[in-house]
Chains A and B, each alone.
Chain A
Amino acid sequence: MSEDKDRDGFFDTGWRPSRDVHRDEDGRPHDHPGVREDVVLGVRASRALAMHELLVEKGVIGEGEVDEVIEAWSKRVPSNGATLVAKAWSDPEFRTRLLEHPKETVIENGFVPEHGADIIVLENTPEVQHMVVCTLCSCYPTQLLGPPPDWYKSFSYRSRAVTEPRAVMSEFGLELDEETEVRVVDSNSELRFLVIPRRPDGTDNWSDEQLATLVNRNSMIGVAAATEPGTD
């Protein structure tokens, strides 16, 4: 691609001989903490950095604000939800409180629901299997489960979860008895749903830490079972 045909720099990968990069117009090397002068930035990364600098310079965002957001996202992981589920399995009082006052209990345990959204906790039993979908978009308890997986956001899951939930669960390795009632929960409003999967047999004397290792992300969406001991 010759340069004159790429006026907007769309195809510009940013590759340059290192002596040639990341300088101001007057040729001075341009400092970014942690970035050495010889690192070659692509055109998009350069733009993002430039925009970031402008936003900070104009006072739209604080200097460390983007880093803080990235830091906050790095703490949104499925083990947050797993901690709560394991505790609910082992402590009946905690289980009751988590089911009856979910938002308060989540906050008490150090997790802050995103946008102040309400949290609802649903418990799976031999009689009832809850399975969560957001047919309109991708509503998801990110504070407890991390960012939603791609399949959760896919058109395929969002339509099949409501039309053939058992077929979907079966693809996740969960075969339910016909007597088990399936409740597909369409998360369409200001609420986020966390599912407590069934506790696997043979885990009676397990510690909360051990139990938490069985609580996989998909089981807290309700599409799969908790991990069976010894199969991880």
Chain B
Amino acid sequence: MSAAAVPKLEFSQGDRVHVKDMTPPNHHRTPWYIKGRRGVVLEFIGMYVNSETRAHGDSGMPELPMYRVEFEQTHLWFDYTESPSDKLWIDLYEHWLERDE
């Protein structure tokens, strides 16, 4: 995380979101298993270099807002039987998230 100025944030703690179900041709670090899934924003964790452009020789600037998002394991895996309270945490760039009403 850098000390870059934080722009107006799209999401805040507790917001219900889903992950965009897209597969752009470029490098991205959103694993398939959370694409299209619904979660809750835990917190804004900072501004981070854009690894999606940096991976292709770009500087990765400007930095983008990143959030930690929580998912229910039973929502991610239809056959998940270990415990209904289990969660998955993952950090995602703002442009991968869409608000759920």
The interface of chain A, by Cβ under 8 A from chain B, is 118, 135-136, 162-167, 178-179, 181-186, 188-191
Contacts and interface: CB of A to CB of B under 8 A. Distances in A.
Nearest to B32: A135
Contacts of A165: 73, 82, 86
A184 B88 contact: yes
Main secondary structure of the interface of A (DSSP, over half): mixed
Nearest to A166: B82
Nearest to B48: A190
Nearest to A190: B48
B85 interface: yes
A162 B91 contact: no
Interface in B50-95: 51, 66, 70, 73, 76-77, 80, 82-83, 85-91
Main secondary structure of the interface of B (DSSP, over half): mixed
Given A118-B46, A162-B76, A165-B82, A181 B31 contact: no
Interface of B: 1, 29-31, 33, 45-46, 48-49, 51, 66, 70, 73, 76-77, 80, 82-83, 85-91
Given A178-B83, A191-B45, A136 B29 contact: yes
Nearest to A170: B82
Residue among A118, A162, A183, A185 with max Cβ neighbours from chain B (10 Å): A162
Given A163-B77, A167-B82, A184-B86, 16 more contacts: A118-B46, A135-B31, A136-B31, A178-B85, A181-B85, A181-B87, A182-B73, A182-B83, A183-B86, A183-B89, A185-B88, A186-B90, A188-B30, A190-B49, A191-B45, A191-B91
B80 A163 contact: yes
A179 B51 contact: no
A185 B86 CA distance: 11
Contacts of A184: 73, 86-89
A103 to B, nearest CB: 8
Given A136-B29, A188-B29, A189-B66, A183 B80 contact: no
